[in-house]
C-alpha cells in the first residue's frame, strides 16, 4: 500500500498536475503541441483528429485532452482555432471536437520545436517516441499560467503579458531590475500590492461604469469569474439584503455587458462599493508557485522562474548556433569538394578504375593536392556524395555560381562565429526581434490599481434589526416579536450580559432564547468602558472595565462567579454620578448617597471592583430622582 500510494502520488505530481519549469508545460499540453507539430501542414486540422493522435502519447482519455486543447486555444498564443471554442466571459463550453478545427500559430511553430535539441523517450505503451520537454524559447509557464491539484500539494501561477515578459528577460540579461504583474484576457483591475513575486495574493475587480442615475454596467470581469457566476452572486447579495436591485440584464456577446438597475434613490458610490464587497465583482486569489525542477516539486518565485527560463534560452540559442555552425561547415566542405571534383576533372580518373576501392583511391589521390582548400579530412561519406553526383549536374556546373554560394556560406559562418563569441548580446537581439514581431498582438488588458479598503460593516450597518422579546425571552432578527432595540451588520458581533454577571459574545442570531434576566445587549466593542454595580455576600461593589478580547460563544463572568454575584446596575456609558438609595434598616441613619464612578480606575472584567457599601441597595439612577433629599447624607466613599 505504501509503495503503490507513493508511486501514484509521484505520478500525479510530476506527470499530470504540476508544470515542468524547463518548458512550462504540463504533459498533456506538451503532447498536444507535439501532435500538432507532427501533423502540421499549414492548414486547419479537426480537433477530433488531434485528440485521437495525442492519445497515442497521453493515456488519460479524450476528455482531458480536448479540454486542455480548448484552454490553449482560448489563451491565444500557441494554437489558433476555427469554430466555436466556447466563451471565456460567459463560461459557455466549446462545440464537439468533430466540429472545430485548430493549427499551430506562427509563434508556436517557430519557437517551440527543434528535433536537434529534443530528447525523446518511449510513450506509455512503447510504440512511439515523445519529447521529454520541448526546446521552447518562450517563457510559456508565465505566459499561460498554471493551476493544478496533486497529492499533498497544489500550484497556482497567474498568466503574465507576453511583451512584458520579453522586456523582463532583456533586463535580466542586461543585469537591470524588473517587475512583473499578472495580465488576464478578461481584463479587469488588479491590486498587486501583496503579489510578492507570485507567492502572495492579489485582489481582482470588475470594471464598473455608471450608465445613468440608476444603472451600473459591468464591462470587464475578474480572472476566473463568468457572467453567470457574477449574476448569481449579485442575486444572492440582493436576497440577503446587502444590495438593492430592480433588475439585472445580461447583454454579453463579444464583450461583457451586464446592466444592474438600481432603485432611483440609490447612493451610486455606495452601491458600487457594495458590489465589490458582496459579489464576485471583487475576488481575492492566493497563489502558490509550485513547479517541477529536476524531477522534484519546488516552490519558486515568478522572478526566479523567468531567470531560469532566460538562462535556458541562452543555452538553447548557444546550442542552435553551434549546430548551425556545424551545418554551415559541412555545407562548405561539400561545396569545396564538388567544385574541386568537377573543375579539376577528378571524375575522369575513375573511368580507368576496375574496382570500387580503386575508384575511391583515385578520388583521394586527385583531391590530395587541394587539402588546404577543404574544411577537414575526407571521409567515406564525402566519397559517396561525390560518386552520387549526376552527370547532368557536372555538365551544367557553373563555377561562378558555386564560388558565390561558398562566399555566402563563409559570410554566414562568420556571422555565427561572431554570435557565439557573445551569446548574451545575440540573445538580447533575438528577444528584441520577437518583441517587434509579436508583442503588438498581445497588448496588456488588465490595469493595475490600488483598491481602497471597503468597510463592510458600514455598508451593512443597518442590515439586521435586532429585536428583544422580554416577555418570552427571545433575541434575534427573524420571527421575534417587538420593536428593534438596535440595528447591526451581519459582520458585527453582539455582547450579551445577564443579571448574574455572566456575558457572552455571539454573531447576530436569527432567533435565540436568552431568558428574561438579560440586562444588556449591544454590538460588541472590546474597548468600550462599562460601568457595573453588583452585590455579592451582602457587599455592593462598583467597577469600570473593558471587555477586551473574547472567544466567541464562550461564557465569561465580569464578577467573581463563586460569590454568586447579582448585577444591580450595568451601563455602557460613563455616568458622572450614581444616585444610590438604601432599604430601611433599624438604626440606619444614611438612606441615600451619591457616588462618582469616574474616579474608579478602568480594569479588566476579572477584577473585583471597589467596595461601595454594605447596606441593602434598593435603586441606582444616573439622574437625580424627584424624591432625592439634597441635604440628607454625605457623599459615598469608595473603599479601595
> Residues 8, 99, 124, 251: which is the catalytic one?
99
Q: Are strands 556-557 and 566-571 parallel, antiparallel or unpaired?
A: unpaired
Which contiguous run of DSSP H or E holds residue 407? helix 399-421
Q: Are strands 539-546 and 602-603 parallel, antiparallel or unpaired?
A: parallel
Q: Which of 508, 512, 523, 520 is nearest to 473 (CA)?
A: 512
Alpha helices for 447-577 (secondary structure H): 456-459
Q: Which of 549, 552, 488 is nearest to 523 (CA)?
A: 488
**Residue 233: strand, helix, or coil:** helix
Tell me how far apart the alpha carbons of residues 466 and 510 are, in angstroms, rounded to a whole number: 9
Specify whether 99 is catalytic: yes
Which contiguous run of DSSP H or E holds residue 420? helix 399-421
The torsion defined by the Cα of 4, 7, 9 and 10, in degrees rounded to 10, comes to 170
**Residue 263: strand, helix, or coil:** coil
The answer to whether 508 and 529 have CB atoms below 8 angstroms apart is no
**Residue 493: strand, helix, or coil:** coil
Which cell numbers hold the place of 467? 429585536
Backbone dihedral angles phi then psi of residue 258, each to the nearest 5 degrees: -115, 115
Which cell numbers hold the place of 117? 535539441
Exposed, middle or buried: residue 147 (CB in 10 Å: 0-12, 13-18, 19+)?
Answer: middle
Which cell numbers hold the place of 438? 509579436
DSSP state string for 9-23: HHHHIIIIIS-BTTT
Active site amino acids? 99
Amino acid at each position: 500500500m505504501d509503495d503503490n500510494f507513493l508511486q501514484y502520488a509521484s505520478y500525479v505530481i510530476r506527470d499530470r498536475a504540476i508544470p515542468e519549469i524547463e518548458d512550462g508545460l504540463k504533459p498533456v499540453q506538451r503532447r498536444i503541441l507535439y501532435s500538432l507539430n507532427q501533423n502540421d501542414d499549414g492548414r486547419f486540422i479537426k480537433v477530433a483528429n488531434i485528440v485521437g493522435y495525442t492519445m497515442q502519447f497521453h493515456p488519460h482519455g479524450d476528455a482531458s485532452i480536448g479540454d486542455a486543447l480548448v484552454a490553449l486555444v482560448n489563451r491565444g498564443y500557441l494554437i489558433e482555432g476555427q469554430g466555436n471554442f466556447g466563451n471565456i466571459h460567459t463560461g459557455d463550453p466549446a462545440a464537439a471536437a468533430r466540429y472545430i478545427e485548430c493549427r499551430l500559430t506562427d509563434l508556436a511553430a517557430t519557437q517551440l520545436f527543434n528535433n536537434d535539441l529534443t530528447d525523446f523517450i518511449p510513450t506509455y505503451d512503447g510504440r512511439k517516441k515523445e519529447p521529454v520537454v520541448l526546446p521552447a524559447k518562450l517563457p510559456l509557464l508565465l505566459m499561460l499560467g498554471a493551476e493544478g491539484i496533486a497529492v499533498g500539494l497544489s500550484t497556482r501561477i497567474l498568466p503574465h503579458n507576453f511583451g512584458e515578459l520579453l522586456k523582463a528577460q532583456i533586463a535580466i540579461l542586461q543585469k537591470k531590475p524588473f517587475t512583473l504583474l499578472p495580465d488576464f484576457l478578461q481584463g479587469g483591475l488588479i491590486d498587486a500590492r501583496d503579489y510578492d513575486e507570485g507567492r502572495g495574493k492579489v485582489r481582482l475587480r470588475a470594471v464598473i461604469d455608471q450608465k445613468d442615475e440608476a444603472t451600473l454596467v459591468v464591462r470587464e470581469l475578474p480572472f476566473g469569474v463568468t457572467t453567470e457566476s457574477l449574476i448569481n452572486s449579485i442575486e444572492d447579495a440582493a436576497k440577503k439584503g446587502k444590495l438593492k436591485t430592480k433588475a439585472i440584464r445580461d447583454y454579453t456577446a463579444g464583450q461583457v455587458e451586464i446592466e444592474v438597475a438600481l432603485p432611483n434613490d440609490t447612493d451610486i458610490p455606495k452601491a458600487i462599493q457594495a458590489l465589490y464587497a458582496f459579489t464576485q465583482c471583487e475576488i481575492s486569489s492566493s497563489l502558490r508557485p509550485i513547479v517541477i525542477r529536476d524531477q522534484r516539486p519546488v516552490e519558486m518565485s515568478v522572478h526566479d522562474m523567468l531567470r531560469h527560463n532566460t538562462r535556458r534560452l541562452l543555452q538553447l540559442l548557444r546550442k542552435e548556433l553551434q549546430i548551425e555552425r556545424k551545418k554551415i561547415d559541412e555545407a562548405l566542405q561539400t561545396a569545396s569538394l564538388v567544385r574541386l571534383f568537377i573543375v579539376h576533372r577528378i571524375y575522369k580518373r575513375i573511368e580507368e578504375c576496375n574496382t570500387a576501392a580503386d575508384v575511391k583511391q583515385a578520388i583521394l589521390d586527385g583531391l590530395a593536392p587541394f587539402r588546404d582548400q577543404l574544411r577537414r579530412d575526407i571521409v567515406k561519406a564525402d566519397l559517396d556524395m561525390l560518386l552520387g553526383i549526376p552527370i547532368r549536374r557536372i555538365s551544367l556546373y557553373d563555377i561562378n555560381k558555386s564560388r558565390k554560394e561558398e562566399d555566402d556560406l563563409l559570410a554566414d559562418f562568420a556571422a555565427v562565429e561572431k554570435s557565439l563569441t557573445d551569446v548574451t548580446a545575440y540573445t538580447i537581439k533575438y528577444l528584441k526581434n520577437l518583441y517587434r514581431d509579436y508583442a503588438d498582438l498581445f497588448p496588456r488588458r488588465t490595469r493595475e490599481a490600488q483598491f481602497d479598503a471597503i468597510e463592510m460593516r458600514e455598508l451593512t450597518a443597518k442590515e439586521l434589526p435586532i429585536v428583544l422579546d422580554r416577555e418570552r425571552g427571545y433575541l434575534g432578527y427573524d420571527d421575534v416579536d417587538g420593536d428593534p432595540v438596535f440595528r447591526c451588520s451581519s459582520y458585527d458581533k453582539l455582547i450579551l450580559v445577564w443579571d448574574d454577571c455572566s456575558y457572552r459574545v455571539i454573531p447576530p442570531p436569527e432567533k435565540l432564547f436568552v431568558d428574561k434576566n438579560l440586562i444588556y445587549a449591544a454590538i460588541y466593542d472590546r474597548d468600550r468602558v462599562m460601568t457595573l454595580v453588583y452585590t455579592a455576600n451582602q457587599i455592593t461593589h462598583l467597577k469600570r472595565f473593558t471587555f477586551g478580547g473574547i472567544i466567541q460563544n464562550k461564557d465569561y463572568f465580569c464578577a467573581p462567579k463563586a460569590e454568586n454575584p447579582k448585577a444591580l446596575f450595568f451601563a455602557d456609558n460613563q455616568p458622572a454620578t450614581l444616585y444610590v438609595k438604601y432599604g430601611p434598616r433599624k438604626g440606619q441613619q444614611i438612606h441615600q448617597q451619591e457616588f462618582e464612578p469616574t474616579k474608579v480606575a478602568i480594569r479588566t472584567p476579572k477584577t473585583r471592583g471597589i467596595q461601595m457599601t454594605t447596606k441593602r441597595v434598593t435603586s441606582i439612577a444616573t439622574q437625580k430622582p424627584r424624591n432625592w433629599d439634597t441635604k440628607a447624607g454625605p457623599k459615598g466613599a469608595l473603599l479601595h
